[in-house]
A and B are shown apart, each in its own frame.
Chain A
Amino acid sequence: MPTKKRRYTITSDEKVEVALRRTRRSFPPGTSDSKILAALVSRGEEALAQASQAEEDYEQRRRAAAKRLADRFRRPEGLDYAALREASAQWQRG
Protein backbone atom coordinates (compact mmCIF):
# COMPACT_ATOMS: atom_id res chain seq x y z
CA MET A 1 0.00 0.00 0.00
CA PRO A 2 1.52 3.35 -0.99
CA THR A 3 2.29 5.74 1.85
CA LYS A 4 4.39 8.82 2.60
CA LYS A 5 4.99 7.61 6.13
CA ARG A 6 8.27 6.09 7.13
CA ARG A 7 8.49 2.32 6.79
CA TYR A 8 10.42 -0.02 9.09
CA THR A 9 11.86 -3.39 8.22
CA ILE A 10 12.16 -6.01 10.88
CA THR A 11 13.80 -9.40 10.69
CA SER A 12 11.70 -12.22 11.98
CA ASP A 13 13.04 -14.66 14.52
CA GLU A 14 11.45 -17.24 16.77
CA LYS A 15 10.25 -14.65 19.31
CA VAL A 16 8.66 -12.47 16.64
CA GLU A 17 6.93 -15.50 15.11
CA VAL A 18 5.59 -16.65 18.49
CA ALA A 19 4.32 -13.13 19.27
CA LEU A 20 2.62 -12.91 15.88
CA ARG A 21 1.05 -16.34 16.21
CA ARG A 22 -0.28 -15.62 19.71
CA THR A 23 -1.55 -12.14 18.91
CA ARG A 24 -3.20 -13.06 15.61
CA ARG A 25 -5.96 -14.82 17.56
CA SER A 26 -7.22 -11.51 18.91
CA PHE A 27 -7.43 -9.85 15.48
CA PRO A 28 -10.02 -10.41 12.76
CA PRO A 29 -9.08 -13.08 10.22
CA GLY A 30 -7.03 -11.69 7.36
CA THR A 31 -5.35 -8.91 9.40
CA SER A 32 -1.92 -8.30 7.93
CA ASP A 33 1.26 -9.10 9.84
CA SER A 34 2.31 -5.45 9.61
CA LYS A 35 -0.88 -4.32 11.36
CA ILE A 36 -0.41 -6.88 14.11
CA LEU A 37 3.24 -5.89 14.49
CA ALA A 38 2.31 -2.21 14.73
CA ALA A 39 -0.19 -3.07 17.47
CA LEU A 40 2.45 -5.11 19.28
CA VAL A 41 4.92 -2.23 19.12
CA SER A 42 2.36 0.16 20.58
CA ARG A 43 1.31 -2.23 23.36
CA GLY A 44 4.94 -3.03 24.04
CA GLU A 45 5.74 0.62 24.49
CA GLU A 46 2.86 0.96 26.97
CA ALA A 47 4.07 -2.08 28.89
CA LEU A 48 7.62 -0.72 29.02
CA ALA A 49 6.38 2.64 30.28
CA GLN A 50 4.31 0.91 32.96
CA ALA A 51 7.27 -1.22 34.02
CA SER A 52 9.46 1.85 34.19
CA GLN A 53 6.89 3.66 36.34
CA ALA A 54 6.54 0.62 38.60
CA GLU A 55 10.31 0.50 38.99
CA GLU A 56 10.39 4.20 39.84
CA ASP A 57 7.61 3.73 42.43
CA TYR A 58 9.38 0.75 43.91
CA GLU A 59 12.65 2.70 44.15
CA GLN A 60 10.90 5.58 45.89
CA ARG A 61 9.34 3.22 48.44
CA ARG A 62 12.65 1.43 48.92
CA ARG A 63 14.53 4.67 49.58
CA ALA A 64 11.90 5.79 52.09
CA ALA A 65 12.22 2.44 53.88
CA ALA A 66 16.01 2.82 53.79
CA LYS A 67 15.71 6.17 55.52
CA ARG A 68 13.51 4.69 58.27
CA LEU A 69 15.86 1.75 58.75
CA ALA A 70 18.85 4.11 58.86
CA ASP A 71 17.13 6.12 61.61
CA ARG A 72 16.60 2.90 63.55
CA PHE A 73 20.28 1.97 63.28
CA ARG A 74 21.26 5.38 64.64
CA ARG A 75 19.21 4.82 67.82
CA PRO A 76 21.02 2.70 70.44
CA GLU A 77 17.74 1.02 71.36
CA GLY A 78 16.59 0.80 67.74
CA LEU A 79 17.00 -2.95 67.55
CA ASP A 80 16.94 -5.76 70.05
CA TYR A 81 20.45 -6.97 69.25
CA ALA A 82 20.34 -9.79 71.82
CA ALA A 83 17.20 -11.16 70.15
CA LEU A 84 18.85 -10.81 66.74
CA ARG A 85 21.76 -12.96 67.90
CA GLU A 86 19.30 -15.40 69.44
CA ALA A 87 17.45 -15.63 66.13
CA SER A 88 20.49 -17.20 64.49
CA ALA A 89 21.01 -19.54 67.40
CA GLN A 90 17.41 -20.77 67.08
CA TRP A 91 18.37 -22.59 63.88
CA GLN A 92 20.95 -24.64 65.77
CA ARG A 93 18.52 -25.82 68.42
CA GLY A 94 16.09 -27.38 66.00
Chain B
Amino acid sequence: MAARVSSAFKGKALVVDNSAFQRGGNEIVRADWLQALEEGNLYRSPILEFEVLYSARNAREHAELRDELEALRPLELSETVVGAALEAQAELARHAAGFHRLPHQDYLVQRSPPPTNSGYCTMTPTSIASPSNPRSPSKASGSPLPER
Protein backbone atom coordinates (compact mmCIF):
# COMPACT_ATOMS: atom_id res chain seq x y z
CA MET B 1 0.00 0.00 0.00
CA ALA B 2 2.66 2.46 1.03
CA ALA B 3 4.77 1.79 -2.09
CA ARG B 4 1.81 2.30 -4.38
CA VAL B 5 0.87 5.60 -2.74
CA SER B 6 4.44 6.80 -2.95
CA SER B 7 4.73 6.04 -6.67
CA ALA B 8 1.46 7.87 -7.24
CA PHE B 9 2.87 11.07 -5.79
CA LYS B 10 6.36 11.07 -7.19
CA GLY B 11 7.05 14.20 -9.16
CA LYS B 12 3.42 14.81 -10.09
CA ALA B 13 1.91 18.25 -9.90
CA LEU B 14 -1.31 17.85 -7.97
CA VAL B 15 -4.17 20.26 -7.55
CA VAL B 16 -5.40 19.89 -4.00
CA ASP B 17 -9.09 20.14 -3.26
CA ASN B 18 -10.67 20.31 0.18
CA SER B 19 -11.01 16.57 0.76
CA ALA B 20 -7.45 15.97 -0.45
CA PHE B 21 -6.25 18.72 1.86
CA GLN B 22 -7.81 16.90 4.80
CA ARG B 23 -5.77 13.80 3.88
CA GLY B 24 -2.69 15.62 5.06
CA GLY B 25 -3.82 14.61 8.53
CA ASN B 26 -4.34 10.97 7.58
CA GLU B 27 -1.54 8.76 8.90
CA ILE B 28 -1.71 6.40 5.92
CA VAL B 29 -0.81 9.04 3.35
CA ARG B 30 0.68 11.79 5.50
CA ALA B 31 4.34 11.05 4.79
CA ASP B 32 3.84 11.14 1.02
CA TRP B 33 1.50 14.10 1.26
CA LEU B 34 4.02 16.09 3.25
CA GLN B 35 6.85 15.08 0.93
CA ALA B 36 4.88 16.33 -2.07
CA LEU B 37 4.17 19.52 -0.13
CA GLU B 38 7.83 20.00 0.76
CA GLU B 39 8.88 19.40 -2.85
CA GLY B 40 6.43 22.01 -4.11
CA ASN B 41 4.29 19.65 -6.14
CA LEU B 42 0.98 20.67 -4.57
CA TYR B 43 -1.16 23.49 -5.96
CA ARG B 44 -4.01 25.43 -4.43
CA SER B 45 -6.93 27.19 -6.03
CA PRO B 46 -8.61 30.23 -4.45
CA ILE B 47 -11.53 27.90 -3.68
CA LEU B 48 -9.35 25.75 -1.44
CA GLU B 49 -8.11 28.88 0.32
CA PHE B 50 -11.66 30.01 1.09
CA GLU B 51 -12.64 26.57 2.32
CA VAL B 52 -9.58 26.08 4.54
CA LEU B 53 -9.81 29.57 5.95
CA TYR B 54 -13.52 29.05 6.61
CA SER B 55 -12.46 26.32 9.02
CA ALA B 56 -10.24 28.66 11.09
CA ARG B 57 -11.37 28.72 14.71
CA ASN B 58 -10.33 32.30 15.37
CA ALA B 59 -8.50 35.28 13.86
CA ARG B 60 -5.08 34.03 14.91
CA GLU B 61 -5.61 30.64 13.30
CA HIS B 62 -7.01 32.36 10.21
CA ALA B 63 -3.77 34.33 9.88
CA GLU B 64 -1.63 31.24 10.51
CA LEU B 65 -3.50 29.13 7.98
CA ARG B 66 -3.37 31.88 5.40
CA ASP B 67 0.38 31.97 5.81
CA GLU B 68 0.73 28.18 5.76
CA LEU B 69 -1.33 27.85 2.59
CA GLU B 70 1.56 29.59 0.85
CA ALA B 71 3.21 26.16 1.00
CA LEU B 72 1.00 25.14 -1.90
CA ARG B 73 1.75 26.87 -5.17
CA PRO B 74 -1.03 29.22 -6.30
CA LEU B 75 -3.29 28.72 -9.29
CA GLU B 76 -5.21 31.51 -10.91
CA LEU B 77 -8.95 31.24 -11.20
CA SER B 78 -8.89 32.89 -14.60
CA GLU B 79 -11.55 33.45 -17.22
CA THR B 80 -10.02 30.54 -19.15
CA VAL B 81 -10.44 28.23 -16.16
CA VAL B 82 -14.06 29.32 -15.69
CA GLY B 83 -14.70 28.78 -19.40
CA ALA B 84 -13.20 25.28 -19.27
CA ALA B 85 -15.25 24.48 -16.15
CA LEU B 86 -18.47 25.59 -17.86
CA GLU B 87 -17.56 23.53 -20.93
CA ALA B 88 -17.03 20.46 -18.73
CA GLN B 89 -20.45 21.05 -17.19
CA ALA B 90 -21.98 21.39 -20.65
CA GLU B 91 -20.35 18.14 -21.75
CA LEU B 92 -21.89 16.31 -18.81
CA ALA B 93 -25.27 17.94 -19.43
CA ARG B 94 -25.16 16.59 -22.99
CA HIS B 95 -24.30 13.14 -21.68
CA ALA B 96 -27.59 12.59 -19.84
CA ALA B 97 -30.25 14.59 -18.03
CA GLY B 98 -29.06 15.73 -14.60
CA PHE B 99 -25.57 14.36 -15.13
CA HIS B 100 -24.10 17.83 -14.84
CA ARG B 101 -25.43 18.52 -11.34
CA LEU B 102 -22.10 18.40 -9.54
CA PRO B 103 -20.72 20.90 -7.03
CA HIS B 104 -19.49 23.93 -8.98
CA GLN B 105 -16.27 24.08 -6.96
CA ASP B 106 -15.38 20.63 -8.31
CA TYR B 107 -15.61 21.91 -11.89
CA LEU B 108 -13.47 24.94 -11.10
CA VAL B 109 -10.80 23.05 -9.18
CA GLN B 110 -10.63 20.26 -11.75
CA ARG B 111 -10.16 22.76 -14.54
CA SER B 112 -7.36 24.72 -12.83
CA PRO B 113 -4.25 23.34 -14.54
CA PRO B 114 -0.85 23.21 -12.83
CA PRO B 115 1.14 25.73 -14.89
CA THR B 116 4.36 23.77 -15.22
CA ASN B 117 2.98 20.35 -15.94
CA SER B 118 1.31 19.06 -19.02
CA GLY B 119 -0.30 16.34 -16.97
CA TYR B 120 -3.13 16.87 -14.55
CA CYS B 121 -4.39 15.20 -11.47
CA THR B 122 -6.82 16.36 -8.86
CA MET B 123 -5.58 15.00 -5.60
CA THR B 124 -8.87 13.58 -4.49
CA PRO B 125 -9.00 10.76 -1.96
CA THR B 126 -9.70 8.49 -4.93
CA SER B 127 -6.49 9.43 -6.69
CA ILE B 128 -4.54 9.03 -3.49
CA ALA B 129 -5.88 5.54 -2.92
CA SER B 130 -5.39 4.15 -6.39
CA PRO B 131 -4.45 6.65 -9.06
CA SER B 132 -3.26 4.22 -11.68
CA ASN B 133 -5.60 1.30 -11.30
CA PRO B 134 -8.42 1.67 -13.80
CA ARG B 135 -10.22 -1.32 -12.38
CA SER B 136 -10.35 0.10 -8.91
CA PRO B 137 -13.93 0.46 -7.69
CA SER B 138 -13.01 3.76 -6.06
CA LYS B 139 -11.93 5.04 -9.46
CA ALA B 140 -15.43 4.44 -10.74
CA SER B 141 -16.88 6.39 -7.87
CA GLY B 142 -14.39 9.22 -8.24
CA SER B 143 -14.90 12.45 -10.10
CA PRO B 144 -17.10 11.89 -13.15
CA LEU B 145 -15.79 15.04 -14.81
CA PRO B 146 -14.80 14.51 -18.45
CA GLU B 147 -11.13 14.04 -19.29
CA ARG B 148 -9.26 17.05 -20.56
Binding site for B on A (CB under 8 A): 59, 61-63, 65-70, 72-74, 76, 78-81, 83-88, 90-92
Contacts and interface: CB of A to CB of B under 8 A. Distances in A.
A87 B71 contact: no
A-side binding surface: helix, strand, loop or mixed?
helix
A41 to B, nearest CB: 27
Contact of B25 (A67, A68, A79, A92): A79
Given A73-B34, A87-B18, A87-B55, A81 B25 contact: yes
Nearest to B25: A73
B40 A59 contact: yes
B30 A73 contact: yes
Interface size range on B against A? 20 to 34
Interface stretch (B2-10, B46-54, B110-118, B135-143): B46-54
Nearest to A82: B55
- Per CB-CB distance, the 3 closest pairs between chain A and chain B, nearest first, are A83-B55, A66-B71, A87-B51
